[in-house]
Amino acid sequence: MKLQLETLYKNRENVHEHFLQDVLDGLNQNPKHLQSKYFYDKKGDALFQDIMAMPEYYVTRCEMDIFQNKTKDLATEILADGSAFDLIELGAGDASKSLHLLKYLQKTGAKFTYMPIDISGNILEVLHQKLQSHIPNLDIRLLEGDYFEMLQKASKVSSRRKAVLFLGSNIGNMELSEASDFCFELRKNLNKNDIALIGFDLKKDPHTILNAYNDPKGITASFNLNLLERINRELDGRFDLDKFEHFQNYDPLSGACRSYLVSLENQKVNIGIHSIDFKKDEVIYMEVSQKFSVEDIQNLSVSNGFKLNKTIMDSKKWFADAIWTA
Ligand code: AVI
């Protein structure tokens, strides 16, 4: 296996500075807000693995169904004219779904390099080990950092056709306007006939959706609260976790499933030399997990300059992987 690791953040102090600034900016807004991209430290990564294993969290299983049972459909779109290409995965995580596609593509004899991009170097290391044992001889280049910076880096090192994967309904963790900006930016970074394969969680029975994010064991609650713990650990924060409670809601009209942490009393919390006031019942808005209709997906592609090639769904029709051409 050929391996190269590019690290955007050689300077870890920079990461720390960004984190502190984002936390202070967010907690000084009204309503207070923390960015869910910060959920994923080592403990957050582990908690997200636990979420994916929960019976209520159907999202991963549905997309896995597509990657296991409709691999040929996915591959046909990606192979296109049969020319060599780079398969770039944004937010690759442990790549458990793409593994099926990678194996399939390798069997066809396709010439490609797999380039997973993830903000978590820890996750990329785990992924590297896994790929080494599952797919020897896979050509791989690990890219640690922000999606578009790394996508530009990928374009500098290779001029081959690109197929970009953005799976797991990660796009759902953006506000709708941000998701549209993201698609616009993605289109700008692609050449004509490059491909984007994006995973969308579909609108469905509101109870099914709410249960997936409001689990009885409180794993999702711990996942949210871990960000306060992370602030304590890394930014010298003084959050008392017993004084905050997770609250989740789902609006079937807009398709927004949102998580909050509610302050259980009037309190002042120090973060290093800074101090933040919370009123009783005041919330910190933590994350949106947006759900989409097929029309929403179509609009998003066309309004950002893509052509919608195909939408591949799981057997329950709860999740869709949309394949767009630039
Ligand atoms: C990573 N992302 C797509 C998950 C989701 O479904 O929005 C994150 C998550 N948050 C709570 N549970 C899962």
The pLDDT tens digits for 137-181 are 999 999 998 899 999 999 998 999 999 999 999 999 999 999 999
- Tell which one of 40, 166, 213 to mutate to probe ligand 1, the residue whose CB is within 8 A of the most ligand atoms: 213
Percent of the chain with pLDDT over 70: 96
What is the number of the ligand 1 atom nearest to the C-alpha of 287? Answer: 10
How many Cβ atoms sit within 10 Å of the Cβ of residue 46? 12
pLDDT at 10: 46
pLDDT at 9: 44
pLDDT at 12: 60
Q: Ligand 1 centroid vs 289 CA: distance in angstroms?
A: 6
Per DSSP, the residues of 159-201 read: -SEEEEEE-TTGGGGS-HHHHHHHHHHHHHTS-TT-EEEEEEE
Protein residue with its CA nearest to atom 7 in ligand 1: 289
pLDDT digits (tens, 9 = 90+) for 91-144: 887 888 999 999 999 999 999 999 999 877 777 888 988 998 999 999 999 999
- Tell which one of 34, 48, 94, 249 to mutate to probe ligand 1, the residue whose CB is within 8 A of the most ligand atoms: 48
pLDDT digits (tens, 9 = 90+) for 1-27: 444 445 444 456 677 889 999 999 999
What is the number of the ligand 1 atom nearest to the C-alpha of 288? Answer: 7
pLDDT at 3: 46
pLDDT at 215: 97
Stretch 262-266: mean pLDDT, rounded? 98
Protein residue with its CA nearest to atom 5 in ligand 1: 289
pLDDT digits (tens, 9 = 90+) for 22-76: 999 999 999 999 999 999 888 998 999 999 999 999 999 999 999 999 999 999 9
Tokens matching residue 213: 């994010």
Q: Ligand 1 centroid vs 150 CA: distance in angstroms?
A: 23
Return mean pLDDT, the chain.
94
pLDDT at 123: 79
- Name all residues whose Cβ lies below 6 A of ligand 1: 51, 59, 168-170, 172-173, 213, 220, 223, 287, 289
What ipTM goes with this model?
A: 0.99
Instruction: Report how far residue 325's alpha carbon sits from residue 312's, in angstroms, rounded to the nearest whole number.
Output: 15
Our measurement of the distance from residue 178's CA atom to the centroid of its chain's CA atoms, rounded to an integer in Å, reads: 14
Instruction: Report how far residue 278's alpha carbon sits from residue 284's, in angstroms, rounded to the nearest whole number.
Output: 9
- Tell which one of 35, 97, 169 to mutate to probe ligand 1, the residue whose CB is within 8 A of the most ligand atoms: 169
Long-range contacts of 155-162 (CB under 8 A, 24+ apart): 155/189, 158/86, 158/113, 160/83, 160/84, 160/85, 160/86, 160/113, 161/80, 161/83, 161/84, 161/85, 161/86, 161/191, 161/193, 161/194, 162/85, 162/86, 162/88, 162/190, 162/191, 162/194, 162/195
Contact 284/260 with Cβ under 8 angstroms? Answer: yes
3-state secondary structure of 16: helix
Task: For 262-284, give one letter per residue: b (16+ CB within 10 A) or e.
Answer: ebeeebebebeeeebebeeebbb
Percent of the chain with pLDDT over 90: 85
Please, which pLDDT band fits residue 256 given cuts at 50, 70 and 90?
Answer: very high
More confident residue, 126 or 187: 187
What is the number of the ligand 1 atom nearest to the C-alpha of 170? Answer: 3
